Amino acid sequence: MARKTATMDPGSDAPAGLAPGLERLPAGPTLFVGRRSELAALRAAAARPASGRCPVLVLAGRPGSGRTALAVRFARTTAADYPDGVLFARLSAPDGSRVPPARAARLLLEQLDPEAAVPLPGAAEDGRDEPGCVALRAALAGRRVLLVLDDVRDAGQLWPLLADEPGCLVLATTAGPLTGIEDIDPVILGGLDRPASGELLADLVGGTRISCDPVGGADLAEACASRPAALRLMAGWLRASPKSAVTEAVRELHRAVAEESAPPVKGDTAAAEPAVESAPAKPVKPVTPVKDGKAVKAGKPGKPGKPGKPVGAEKPVNAEQPQKGQEKGETAEKGGKGDKEGKGTGAAGAAGWVKPAPEPAEPVPVPDTDPLIGAFTLLYRTLPPARARMLRALTLAPAQTADPRTASALVGCPVPEAAETLAALAERELLGEEAPAEDGTPRYRVPGRLYPRLVRLREREDRPTETELARARLLERLVRLTDTARALLDPASGPAPEPLPAALRLHSAAHARQWLLGERELLLGAVADAIGQGDLDGSAGRLVTALLRALPLTGAAAPADLYRLHELVLTVAERNGRPRRASAALLNLGDLQVAAGRWEQAAGHYRAALEHARAVGDEPLCARALEGAAGCHRALGDAVRAADWYGRALGLRQSLGDRAAEARLLARVAEAHTAQRRFEEADREYRAALAVLRRLGDERGREAVGAALADLRERVDGGW
């Protein structure tokens, strides 16, 4: 059956390829119909003159309304107006978890400038915003960029990402409500109009089954509420049931919806499921910052702005005349004061006008009475067992995104078989096609609208031991791939792992680097998921170690990624009662903070590392932590505390017989004394350092310390 590849939207092939970043957008459906009025409304809103800050377009619709596909279509037709690029980020995961704005900002900043120094994650201080959001807003200054933010849960995710740059444009999709943002006239998606629904069904089903039964086609569209996702699933069911009439599809859909929404039979535990899809348990919270060995509590959020009228997703848009959205949301401060405060695109100026966010919204559920669930149930029942098992297993993939390499590990099948199964599931509209990997490997994603139902099916049909084994296989596959990439990038770094099968193999150092950087977020997500669940710490720990060895070899390892990995090491070490490893992780976190010039945060990590090291009596780790904390006090201008901490570190190094460290610390103590104008003590410590260096035969060290001592004496003689 031949499926049309031409779009029904006449303006969709505009020359938008001039803007970089279009490859980051989801592939979207091959066939796109209707939505002309909605596209016109978005274009008209984008053409309005901006005042002060980055304009925002909101596209609201229930799950399955096609809001993401419409956003991608709009972006492709408008990208030529934004020569500095198109950026894309999802602000919700398929499991319903909310992506923090700081993480989204770091992803967008990396897309905007791969060479940019992405700030380390950190909590807001004194009411200011997270460093990554500040850096993103500053980087957008003077640019014309289109930002597509998919599945925004609440205004609190959006506000920190908006820059004082009227040349940029933000297109946000949401299931609603989205309140608290001024000057927004949302485009609200309902179902497709009747002609578009008929065209979509006819082209997806093929043949003459729809054209010969226009009444049945109209009834099927009505049964699906004319929403694209349900229509696509029912078209897949009709293709899988070539002998079934369209009217039979309508009857089966009504029956499936009735079955799904029926109350459970009394005493039937298998049927005792909630009537409304609920999101799975929330993931484990990320590691909190450490200060003085204790977790730092996040600051209290500010009062939310007055909410505007909620953006509903039920109201359809007229096919011919675009309807205006709801009343404009009121701001936290009336009269547009927020735009006047802190103007400018620098980090400090941009942070000044960001408005406090409302409380995070809960995911919008898909009720069991929704035709989308009935259509999915019908199509799922037609799947062969192997494909159904694959579909359920993909809910275990990091970010619910997989390629043939990871999918084959989840179900334990050969890679070619996994690739065929993934393509078949995507052809039936059960998976969404993502942008391919750098090496051309196809990638797929579980749609968020189907994820809760698939989790319930997995929990009901797969044994817990099978699920745990699938997760373990995935982690071990990722460990082997990461180790292989490390061996290709640096053959001298250690023995190469056992060669992978041909379909999994990374063929060169360039391929290995490409794979590591392209899959970095998914690799980090896999580690975080495993450590969050806490039952596969061994495999997760091996993957962390492999990533810490491999990512720096790419030459593009972001300190923020290394920071996340060391935080995960800390989590596992503290959970398993391994203070020595926890101390080492805290020292690494402190070193990363020092490299970023964040001295107070680094000092907190070093002090926490000292407490863990003392618990096991590890004197080298204690000395290392003391010296790190002393360096932070020195950088902060606190010479008294610096001298004290350096002196304590010196005592430990002397007891350990570490002469090189002793000489270094003697010079540091001398510098701290000099800052306090204690010149005699400084002279004495410099001379002691010279004596140690003389015994070690370190001529370069003697020259450096001798020069510092000579400079000190010259200044003292000159009346300093």
Q: Distance between CA 525 and CA 420 in Å, rounded?
A: 25
Q: Distance between CA 225 and CA 386 in Å, rounded?
A: 31
Q: Distance between CA 161 and CA 150 in Å, rounded?
A: 13
Q: Distance between CA 411 and CA 387 in Å, rounded?
A: 10
* Amino acid found at 504: L
Q: What is the mean pLDDT of residues 394-415?
A: 92
Contact yes or no for 246/217 (Cβ under 8 A): yes
Q: Distance between CA 650 and CA 112 in Å, rounded?
A: 46
- Model pTM score: 0.76
Q: Tokens representing 539?
A: 């495999």
Return the pLDDT at 9: 44
Residue of 547, 476, 475 whose CA lies nearest to 517: 547
**In the chain, what are the helix, strand and coil shares in percent, each to the nearest 5?**
55, 5, 40
Residue found under tokens 């901006």: 50
Q: Tokens representing 178?
A: 């989205």
122-167, pLDDT tens digit by residue?
A: 655 433 467 888 888 989 988 999 999 999 988 888 888 888 888 8
Confidence of residue 410 (pLDDT cuts 50, 70, 90): very high
End-to-end CA distance of the chain: 91
Strand partners, 432: 445
Could you tell me the sign of the dihedral formed by the alpha carbons of 691, 697, 701, 706, in that order? positive
Residue 624 pLDDT greater than 90, yes or no: yes
Residue 300 pLDDT greater than 80, yes or no: no
36 vs 357, higher pLDDT: 36
Residue of 678, 674, 654 whose CA lies nearest to 664: 654
Return the pLDDT at 331: 33
Q: Distance between CA 516 and CA 506 in Å, rounded?
A: 10
Confidence of residue 45 (pLDDT cuts 50, 70, 90): confident
Confidence of residue 295 (pLDDT cuts 50, 70, 90): very low
Residue 503 pLDDT greater than 70, yes or no: yes
**3 state SS for 254-290:** HHHHHHHHCCCCCCCHHHCCCCECCCCCCCCCCCCCE
Within 32-161, strands assigned E span 56-61, 86-90, 146-150
Q: How far is CA 289 from CA 122, 524, 547, 586, 680, in A?
A: 7, 18, 22, 10, 41
**For the ranges 328-332, 362-366, 547-551, 645-649, which has the lowest average pLDDT?**
328-332
Q: In what order do the strands lie in the sheet with 401-402?
A: 401-402, 444-445, 432-433
Confidence of residue 719 (pLDDT cuts 50, 70, 90): confident
Q: Distance between CA 654 and CA 573 in Å, rounded?
A: 29
Q: Tokens representing 394?
A: 């993909």
* Amino acid found at 497: P
Contact yes or no for 186/58 (Cβ under 8 A): yes
Residue 302 pLDDT greater than 50, yes or no: no
Confidence of residue 318 (pLDDT cuts 50, 70, 90): very low
Q: Tokens representing 449?
A: 């609208």
* Amino acid found at 221: A
* Amino acid found at 31: L
Alpha-carbon Rg for the chain, nearest whole angstrom, is 30
584-614, pLDDT tens digit by residue?
A: 999 999 999 998 888 999 999 999 999 999 9
Query: Collapsing DSSP states into helix, strand and coil, what is residue 452?
Result: helix
DSSP 240: H
* Amino acid found at 384: P
Q: At what angle do helices 67-78 and 36-47 cross, to 10 degrees?
A: 50
Strand partners, 172: 58, 149
Return the pLDDT at 507: 86
643 vs 504, higher pLDDT: 643
Residue 389 pLDDT greater than 90, yes or no: yes
Q: Distance between CA 373 and CA 261 in Å, rounded?
A: 10
Q: Ramachandran region of residue 89, left (φ > 0), alpha (ψ -120 to 50) or beta?
A: beta
60-103, pLDDT tens digit by residue?
A: 888 888 899 999 999 999 998 899 999 999 998 877 788 888 88
The number of residues in the chain equals: 720
Give me the chain's average pLDDT, please.
80
Return the pLDDT at 603: 94
Confidence of residue 304 (pLDDT cuts 50, 70, 90): very low
Return the pLDDT at 409: 94
Residue found under tokens 């977020």: 521
Q: At what angle do helices 537-550 and 464-489 cross, to 10 degrees?
A: 20
The reply to whether omega before 177 is within 30° of 0 (cis) is: yes
Biggest alpha carbon–alpha carbon distance for the chain: 105
Q: Where is 294: in which H helix or E strand?
A: strand 294-295
DSSP 438: T
Q: In what order do the strands lie in the sheet with 187-189?
A: 86-90, 146-150, 169-174, 56-61, 187-189
Return the pLDDT at 122: 64
Contact yes or no for 4/287 (Cβ under 8 A): no
**Residue 303 burial (10 A CB sphere; 0-12, 13-18, 19+):** exposed
Strand partners, 276: 367
Those residues with Cβ within 8 angstroms of residue 457's Cβ, 6 or more apart along the chain or in another chain: 380, 392
Q: How far is CA 187 from CA 35, 57, 70, 227, 311, in A?
A: 11, 8, 11, 16, 9
**For the ranges 28-37, 421-430, 438-447, 518-527, which has the lowest average pLDDT?**
28-37
**For the ranges 43-47, 179-183, 288-292, 594-598, which has the lowest average pLDDT?**
288-292
**Residue 675 burial (10 A CB sphere; 0-12, 13-18, 19+):** middle
Q: How far is CA 232 from CA 27, 31, 374, 390, 450, in A?
A: 16, 10, 12, 20, 13
Q: Distance between CA 296 and CA 292 in Å, rounded?
A: 9
Return the pLDDT at 112: 86
Residue found under tokens 């003590």: 681
Task: Output the CA torsion 5→6→11→15 (10° steps).
Answer: 60
Return the pLDDT at 131: 80
Return the pLDDT at 636: 92
Residue 307 pLDDT greater than 50, yes or no: no
Residue of 274, 351, 277 whose CA lies nearest to 119: 351
Return the pLDDT at 279: 40
Q: Distance between CA 101 and CA 559 in Å, rounded?
A: 18
208 vs 663, higher pLDDT: 663
